[in-house]
Amino acid sequence: MANRRFSSRIIRMSAYVSLPLAFTCVWRFMLACAAFIALCPGALLPAPANEAPASAPSRVPPSSPPASGRQLVVAVAADNNTNNGILRMFTRTEKGWRADSEAIACLFGKNGMAWGRGLHAPQEGLQKQEKDGRTPAGRFKIGKCLGQEDALPKGATWPYQRVTERDAWVDDPTLPHYNQHVRLGADEKAPAWFEKQRMKIGDFAYHWLLVIEHNTSNIVPGAGSAIFFHIRRGETRPTAGCTTMARGNLERLLVWIRPAGRPEFVVLSKPDYLRLWKEWQLPDPEAVWGGTKLDDSGEKSDKDKDKDKGRKPAKSEARTGKAANAKGGDEAVR
């Protein structure tokens, strides 16, 4: 009995000694953790969602989604300061991209190219600005066609609107409808700004205006407006930012594109195409410009060959269109 009482006293005394010791150990551990966090504040915290890991290269543009449609129009210039190049049409098949045209001569902005705002991820380098004389480079949806006929060429199925005196395309960055097609209602009074933004009627170069959807989503004022495919003003005459070609080739393009094909337009310099074609899942470079000197603008149309032989082209392509350039050229379309 005495032994049992003695053992109980020993156990109670051990508890009294061990409890303070345990608290002391926990307290020291907490102090050590606090000191570690103070010295290394990011060690135990997750990285913010909008920051890349420390080892990631800086200023690398995010990947762009691959071309999603079945039809693709590709135009390439020798470099970003060249204002002419070649264009081809491609259809996606089970075996890859199939060329549906030869290399077609086309013209770009008089000062070359600058990165536009379209389907592609933002790219480093010169960015397209209003009236900089550059074609927006990148990947773009192809929008509706505007024109001066009752209907598109025979066989075309693309969305179309005929231009009237009540149509405007706004290229003034200070206006609320910047880079938008505005059509007044039959009884709607024209606002004060409308007359200067009114689209031209009777200009042969704007007979067809196929919209290239640059800066049309989340529009940025001053980032460039009114970008189209349209008829060129001469074999070597560049534009203010649009992509132009002979009338016959543009009408071939209008008949070829189909709403079900979800066509896109890719326009790049040769160096940028070589850098991006695999990531964007584009046609092989050899299929785009193989055997063609880019600075020669590809194959010549029949009208071009007539010029080379000393014969005059059709009157519609021979006119100079000076009135069009008086108000800003291709991007003004008025």
DSSP 8-state code for residue 112: B
**Structural domain count of the chain:** 1
216 CB-near residues (< 8 Å, 6+ apart): 143, 179
pLDDT for 291: 80
Chain mean position to CA 86? 18
DSSP 8-state code for residue 239: B
Joined tokens for residue 224: 């460039």
Chain mean position to CA 314? 34
Please report whether residue 57 resides in a domain: no
| Bridge partners for 236 per DSSP | none
pLDDT for 118: 97
pLDDT for 156: 98
The rounded distance, in Å, linking the Cα atoms of 81 and 295 is: 11
Closest by CA to 114, choosing from 267, 302, 291, is: 267
Is this structure's pTM higher than 0.85?
A: no
Please report whether residue 303 resides in a domain: yes
Query: Over the chain, what is the mean pLDDT?
Result: 80
Burial class (CB in 10 A: 0-12, 13-18, 19+), 160: middle
| Bridge partners for 192 per DSSP | none
| Bridge partners for 210 per DSSP | 145, 229
255 CB-near residues (< 8 Å, 6+ apart): 152, 153, 154, 155, 156
The rounded distance, in Å, linking the Cα atoms of 167 and 66 is: 35
Please report whether residue 50 resides in a domain: no
Burial class (CB in 10 A: 0-12, 13-18, 19+), 211: buried
pLDDT for 35: 55
Under 8 Å between Cβ of 113 and 186 = no
Please report whether residue 64 resides in a domain: no
The residues of the chain scoring below 70 in pLDDT are: 1-67, 295-334
Full residue range of the structural domain in which residue 105 is found? 71-331
Please report whether residue 34 resides in a domain: no
Please report whether residue 117 resides in a domain: yes
pLDDT for 294: 74
Please report whether residue 1 resides in a domain: no
For 277, the 3-state DSSP assignment is coil
The rounded distance, in Å, linking the Cα atoms of 32 and 185 is: 75
pLDDT for 30: 63
Radius of gyration from C-alpha coordinates of the chain: 32
Please report whether residue 17 resides in a domain: no
